[in-house]
A and B are shown apart, each in its own frame.
Chain A
């Protein structure tokens, strides 16, 4: 599944500045694509525009080459699994029930879960390594566990693409790596994965391509080595930054500098 935008403009009501100001980008099929940028640069807005939940002022957002405004809500829900940033789950709910909600787009108002639905849920639970948590109340899970359960819900949709907003925020190294490995494996199996993140180094390790946004515009797009260049990052983040190739992994490593440290560029 492919995503793309053409000169996309989004402006929120009551805001003078456009949240997205003429953004063009494209996510090829089966690609792990990272959307990067400072706070307020338009990352989440771009994600929402691609999912058809914010009003587009000009330009187009394309899902599989088709204008997102021509997709019905149900079509998007059957094709794209989304893990939004926060969910305030107010009432007790088991992990199995939460993951089971991923099947709703495939069920009518009244039809119950069938064999295929149960198989999809079981597969999603095992892919995210949360089968053992199925009977637990989600309000008692740790941050890492809950995040994996939420990703399992998106996988249970059996989507052709995954879209995740900050999936590794506030997780420790082990849980971050586990989730990113899972996303990498999903992309390798042909799923398109779009991740909004602040983790430049992690994105460099896992993403095929990345987009760097700055105040609603594209600052750079391409392979990690093309996007993560010190002079671009310094401009975008307005902070002295050094970029070196990591000897252990061979990918760029981004280091924000303290005052007085040389840029090394």
Chain B
């Protein structure tokens, strides 16, 4: 109990610190006092523009997407009973990437900032529909092994599509496509924050309500059934919610790897596998982690931005290996 409390407190503080640091640092550094004054609606007009129009939405977007990816990852790991599961395992990132790359290659992105996210979201939804369709066609019950296999195969098809489109494209298009696929929060504005929140927060609330059934699903579908869970309903609902959260995130910021895989494992190593604790703490952990990673991505080689997916892996891998090693030695 105390360990859970400590970790919750630590993650809440880490998230608050990450958002505050995200607001303070950048091309124009602000003091903490300035940042807080500006958040309270005072401060100079320039500070207000920097904080309210640029840095705050970017920090909040990082928190929403990071939290959503970690939550989706934890959910998929339980449903597929597979520690290697992560939000992109059902081909969602592949579908989104095809949508985005197509838009870039056809030069449609210039039509408006909403075109690329919309195309990526549509691509993600097509991927979800395809994978779910394959997994349910065989019979009435949805087989998670088939789902997993369908996801891998569909992802392979999408990467072939991407390779084909890119091979037909000009060098500039290839570069912007590759950068998009590595993920970035540079385009954050209030529109993208509201859009992501509209998908992520209700879906996250519903997933938290499924914590007990997910505990049961993680030990086996047959047992879950005998302990009163409506297995098929839980499976469909939880998969759909996790997929929607992922699709919304990918559409807005591109493919950011590693958060959805590593954060749930790290939380699990610290507080165990009870999803009533694991899910909310994964969300908090993912939110803090991605917001901090984005800060590093912006500042490390400023004014050049490093793709945030590079930072999540650079920081996440050693952190995870340390936790893993510690758990093995106890």
Interface residues of A (CB under 8 A from B): 13, 51, 53, 73-74, 76-78, 80, 82, 84, 86-94, 97-98, 101-102, 104-105, 107, 109-110, 157
Contact = CB atoms under 8 A, between A and B. Distances in A.
Nearest to A14: B139
A54 to B, nearest CB: 11
Given A101-B216, A104-B216, A92 B81 contact: no
B227 A102 contact: yes
B220 A101 contact: no
B227 A97 contact: no
A86 B215 CA distance: 17
Contacts of B139: 13
A252 to B, nearest CB: 32
Contact of B272 (A77, A78, A93): A93
B228 A73 contact: yes
A101 B83 CA distance: 21
Contacts of A110: 209
Contacts of A104: 212, 215-216, 227-229
Nearest to A150: B223
B272 A94 contact: yes
Interface of B: 77-78, 81-83, 139, 209, 212, 215-216, 218-220, 222-223, 225-230, 268-269, 272-274
A129 B223 CA distance: 22
B294 to A, nearest CB: 29
A77 B216 CA distance: 13
Given A84-B222, A87-B219, A98-B219, A92 B227 contact: no
17 contacts: A53-B222, A53-B225, A53-B226, A77-B228, A82-B223, A82-B226, A84-B226, A86-B220, A88-B81, A88-B219, A90-B83, A92-B272, A93-B273, A93-B274, A94-B272, A97-B273, A107-B212
B239 to A, nearest CB: 17
Given A73-B228, A97-B272, 4 more contacts: A77-B226, A91-B218, A97-B215, A101-B215
A109 B227 CA distance: 13
A108 to B, nearest CB: 9
A84 B224 CA distance: 11
A73 B222 CA distance: 12
Nearest 4 interchain pairs by C-beta: A77-B228, A82-B226, A105-B228, A91-B273
Contacts of A86: 220
A134 to B, nearest CB: 13
Contacts of A13: 139
Contact of B219 (A89, A107, A109): A89
Contact of A84 (B83, B220, B268): B220
A51 B212 CA distance: 21
Given A104-B216, A109-B209, A109-B212, A87 B223 contact: yes
A93 B81 CA distance: 13
A56 to B, nearest CB: 15
Contact of A51 (B78, B226, B269, B272): B226
Contacts of B268: 91-92
A76 B230 CA distance: 12
B83 A105 contact: no
A101 B226 contact: no
Contacts of A78: 228
A186 B254 CA distance: 58
A77 B227 contact: yes
A87 B28 CA distance: 56
Contacts of A80: 226
A88 B220 CA distance: 6
Given A74-B228, A77-B226, A101-B227, A87 B220 contact: yes
A13 B140 CA distance: 11
A91 B83 contact: yes
A13 B218 CA distance: 27
A101 B219 contact: yes
Given A84-B226, A102-B227, A110-B209, A90 B215 contact: no
Contacts of A76: 226, 228
Most buried by A among B82, B209, B229, B273: B273
A51 B228 CA distance: 11
B228 A92 contact: no
Most buried by A among B227, B268, B273: B227
A101 B229 CA distance: 11
A98 B82 CA distance: 18
Nearest to B265: A91
A13 B227 CA distance: 25
A73 B274 CA distance: 23
Contacts of A97: 215, 272-274
